[in-house]
């Protein structure tokens, strides 16, 4: 006897229903993904800034000389340079999607690793959501710290 094979697969209606469900789930998930990206940008910017601050402090102590951090043209959001009397030792690029403001345009680490003045950096996502902001502070002792929230 001959057996007939039944063709199994998707018909057009099943495909459209599946694509509709996938589209609805994607529309629900995209805003959550944007929040994740924004949080990661702020965290990354904060970590990069603290790494540069620690580097500048370390250079001041190691080389027993003053080290200066200065914002580049356009502000801290566009980056900064770390320099000694001998020249620039580090250049840092700015951050996309993060607004960076500080209480000064330049500051200095002394040869003992202390700063001449306390400095506060405010990192806020470009969306303006201050609930995701970070505050990086450098005390007179020279140690940088980061806290969640506005400064």
Q: What is the pLDDT of residues 81-121, one digit of tens each?
A: 999 988 888 999 888 889 898 989 999 999 999 998 899 99
Higher pLDDT, 71 or 10: 71
Look up the pTM and report it: 0.78
Q: Which residues, including other chains, have CB under 8 Å from residue 103's CB and lie 6 or more apart?
A: 118, 119, 120, 121
* Res 37: pLDDT: 86
How confident is the prediction for the chain on average, in pLDDT? 88
Predicted local distance difference test score (pLDDT) of residue 1 = 58
């Amino acid at each position: 006897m001959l057996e007939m094979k039944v063709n199994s697969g998707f018909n057009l209606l099943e495909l459209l229903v599946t694509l509709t469900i996938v589209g609805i789930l994607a529309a629900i998930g995209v805003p959550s993904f944007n929040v994740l990206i924004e949080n990661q940008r702020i965290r990354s910017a904060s970590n990069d800034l603290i790494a540069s601050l620690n580097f500048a402090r370390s250079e001041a102590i190691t080389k027993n000389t003053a080290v200066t951090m200065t914002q580049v043209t356009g502000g801290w959001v566009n980056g900064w340079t770390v320099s000694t009397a001998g020249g620039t030792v580090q250049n840092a690029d700015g951050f996309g999607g993060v607004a960076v403001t500080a209480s000064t345009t330049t500051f200095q680490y002394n040869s003992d690793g202390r700063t001449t003045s306390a400095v506060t950096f405010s990192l806020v996502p470009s969306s303006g959501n201050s609930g995701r902001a970070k505050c990086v502070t450098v005390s007179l002792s020279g140690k940088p710290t980061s806290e969640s929230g506005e400064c």
